[in-house]
Every structure is written in structure tokens, then in C-alpha cells.
Structure 1
Amino acid sequence: MISVVILGAGNVATHLFNAFDNADAIFVNQWFNRSISRLRSYKNKVEIIDDVSQLKDADVYIIAVSDDAIANLSKQLLFENRLVVHTSGTVNIHDLDKKNRRGVFYPLQTFSKSAALNFADVPICIEAIDKADLKTLKALAKAIGSKSHKVNTEQRKALHLAAVFVNNFTNQLYRVAHEITEGEGVEFDILKPLILETAKKVQNLSPYMAQTGPAKRNDKKTIKKHIELLKKEQHKAIYELLTANIQQTHGVSTGATAQSKKK
């Protein structure tokens, strides 16, 4: 049985608690947050506290707060030589106070409190200074059904950056598409099978091989019509930037157009 204390009450902390609470091999000793009112609904499931001096012994202390607050919170912990980890994709492991054993337990997934999540679909990126602690984090991930991946800080930062492209930026493109369909009174839902198929394709093909569309074909007439249809200048800029990037990636020749502009 792995005993855990969670520090923080955001999306990641909430999903981790739910996963831990349902795992036979994990016991959540306590849940800490400075504003205890955010934890009131869990008081019958776990001991909730708002004072770091009340923290009990545990195998792992998981700091799941905003990136800017991690270092300061780790310094406020009154104990020493215990395993303290954070859940950030970008914060260095050495930002944790060195009075304790340090590690990272980074779930690479998008978290919303209102959306249920199966941790079998959540890869956990783990890092630790000590080999024994790495084994503990690996066991913690396994207990909630997640596959763990040993990565160093620089690799984790690269994964987080890539995640912004595949999740946050992609979601914003969904928002642009929603504005376009909404503007013409067309249901956005009609696009959902395409969204799913696009995600499905990269399970078996590289993104490079999966690419289709007018930019890759260098279909100049369609590209021109699309730009003319876009009402917002910001949307036009996004379309042109992505089109140019796809063409560069796939070696599409746009030389004739470029030369004519120079003349």
C-alpha cells in the first residue's frame, strides 16, 4: 500500500485524488489546500487540512498547484528526507526544496474537472533523484492503471511544448472552425467525425504521412477562395501561416507566386 498526501485542489489534484481513491494499492492520507472550502465536498472521503504543519507521514507528497507556487510550497514543508514530487510539465525537478527527496509525477493529459478521465489513457512521465523513489513513482502510476515513462527535465519540457501544439492550439483551431460554421448557420457537429478520424489516423501513420488538403496539393484556387471566405483578418493570418508551413514541410513549390510578388 502506497500512502499519499495531495497538496492543491485544481484540476490535476482532483483527478489524481479520484484515481487514487479508486485504487486498491493506494491510500490518500490527507488532502491539503490553503482554501479548505474547495475541499469541503470531499471531507467524508479523506482528511482535509489547510495547515502544512498538520501534514502526516506518507510515502509520497504530491504538489499539484500552479507552476509559480511549486517552489515556495515545497520550502514551506516542515519535514525532511521524504519524497516530494510535483505534477508540472515545465518546472525543473531541482526547483523543489532539496531538504526532501525530489521527483516528478507528470500526467500528460488535458484535465477538466467536469470531464471524466480513465487513467489507463494517461501516460505518466516520472523523474526522481534516487532510484528507489523512481520505483515508488512507477508503482504509483501502475496502481492507477497508467503507463509510466522515465524522462528527464528537458525531455519533459519538450513533451509539454508538443502537448500545447496537439491539444491547446488544436482546440483553438476547433474554436475557429466553430465560428466559421456558426457564422453560416451550419452545425459544428457535422465536423466531429472528421475530427475523430484525424486523431485516429495518427495512431497508425506519422503526422507527415497523414497530411492531406489543399496546402499539400498546392491547390492555389481553393486556397484563394478559402482566404476570401474568411471574414476575420486574424483567421486569414492563421490560415496563411499554416498553409505556408504545410507547403514548406512537404516541399510544395510556390516559386511562381513568390517570384511574381518580387517583380
Structure 2
Amino acid sequence: MVKVVIIGSGNVAQHLIVAFQNAQNSGTEIELVQVYSRQTASVAHLLGLEQLTNNLDDLAEADLYIIAVSDDAIAAVSSQLPFKNRLVVHTSGGVALNVLNDDNRKGVFYPLQSFTKNKPIDFKTIPICLESENATDYQLLDKVAKTISDTVFAINSEQRKALHVAAVFVNNFTNHLYQIGQEICLENKVPFEILKPLIAETANKIMVLSPEEAQTGPAKRNDTATIEAHEAFLSQENHLNIYKTLTQSIQENGKKL
């Protein structure tokens, strides 16, 4: 039985709690023995009070400690752990393994997904990127990861940094463009729902085509008249600048192909 402690109570921590509980219920050899949170009320709806603590000195003995806190807090939290030579990992995509305190064995347990509180997600579909300092610890991380996900990768810190930057482009930036599209619709009394089938089809195409093959639109076609009309329509300077930047990027990419 692999015993796991989660340190944190944010989006990632809460989804991990649910994922490990589901794994336990399916009979896998894993046990979520404890969760640390400064405010235990934030996760009290997910597990019993006997499994919660707000004191790092009271952390239970476990095979794996998963720090799921904000990037800026990882180093400080790892330096406050009251034990040595145990396996401690963080869940960040943008933080290197070596920020963890040297008192313990280090690793990374990075689920690559966008998490939102109270939005259920099938953890089995989420890629988990693993890194450790030695092969034995990696084997343990791999065993734990495979109890909650069907997709596990060995990814070092530099590769993970690249993945995290790429994820910002395909997820965070894309979602911001959805917001701009919604604002344009609302300003012109057009239901944003009309665009949702287009959004879904664009995402679905990437499952079977490369982004280059899937690219369409006036920038791809170099339709100058349409581009100029769009630029004249956009009254907000920020929207106009984004439109021009992305149009130029698409056109320059087309020249390279």
C-alpha cells in the first residue's frame, strides 16, 4: 500500500484528492492518508476531519508527499517540512525540481490540465509528467500516477518548462481570445452561443490534423480586403493590436511552409 499526503487545498489539490479517493474506491493499492491546508474548511467537504491538518508538524508518515500550492510558495513550504529523506514532489509545470528543499528526495508530479474548482474532470484522461532524482523514486511516482491516469510521461525540468509555455498558448491565451470574441458578440447583440460549434470543431480538428493543416481564415488566405475591414471594425485598441499580431504571425508562418 502506497501512502500519500497532499499539501495544499487549491484547484490542483482538490482534483487530486478526488482522483486518489476514486482510485482507492476502485481497489488500487494507494491510500490518501492526510491533506494539509492552512484553512481546513476549504477541503472539509471532500474528506473526513480525521484526515485533515493545518499544522505541518502534524503531517502523517507517508511514502509520498505532494505539494500542490502556488508556484511562489513551493520552496517555502518544502523548507518547512519537519522530516528528512522522504519523497517530496510538487505539481507545477513552470517550477524546476531543484527548488525543493535538499532535506528530502525530490520529484515532480505534474498533471497537465486546466483545473477549475467544482468542475468535475476525468483524471484518467490527464497526462501526468514525472521527474525524480533517482530510478527508485521514479518507479514509485510512476506506480502512483498510473492509479489515477492512463497517460504518464517522463519529462525533465527543461522539457516541462517548454510544455508549460506551450500550454499557456493553447489554453490560457486561447481562452482569453474566447473572452474577446464574447465581448464583441455582446457589444453587437449577437449570442455568443452561435460560435460554440465553431469552437468545438476547431478543437476537434487538432485531434486528427496538425495545427498548420487545420489553419483557415483571412490571414491564411491573405485576404487583404477582409483583414482591412476587420481592423476598421475593431474599435478597442487592445483587440486591434491582438488581431494585427496574430494575423502577422499566421502570415509569416505561411511563408515558412
TM-score with structure 1 length normalisation? 0.93
Within the alignment, does 1:7 sit opposite 2:11 as a pair?
A: no
Gaps of 5+ in 2: none
Please name the residue that 1:146 is paired with. 150
Equivalent residue in structure 1 for 2:72, among 68, 93, 104: 68
- Aligned pairs (5 A) from 1:15-164: 15-24=15-24, 25=28, 26-44=30-48, 47-164=51-168
Within the alignment, does 1:241 sit opposite 2:251 as a pair?
A: no
Deviation, 1:218, is: 0.6
Deviation, 1:46, is: 5.6
Deviation, 1:43, is: 4.6
Deviation readout 1:34-67 (Å, 9 max, x if unpaired):
2223233235276100111111111110000011
Indicate the SS of the match to 2:45: helix
Within the alignment, does 1:171 sit opposite 2:175 as a pair?
A: yes
Is the CA contact (8 Å cut-off) linking 2:18 and 2:46 kept in structure 1? Answer: no
Equivalent residue in structure 2 for 1:208, among 204, 212, 219: 212
Note the aligned Cα RMSD (angstroms): 1.3
The amino acid across from 1:234 in the alignment is N
Counterparts of 1:39 and 1:183, CA distance in 2: 39
The amino acid across from 1:101 in the alignment is R
Give the 4+ runs in structure 1 shifted more than 2 A. Answer: 39-46
Deviation readout 1:226-255 (Å, 9 max, x if unpaired):
111112111111111100110000019xxx
Deviation, 1:4, is: 0.4
Compare CA radii of gyration and give the structure with the larger one. Answer: 1
Please name the residue that 1:260 is paired with. none
Percent identity between the aligned chains? Answer: 50
Which moved further from structure 2: 95-104 or 35-44?
35-44
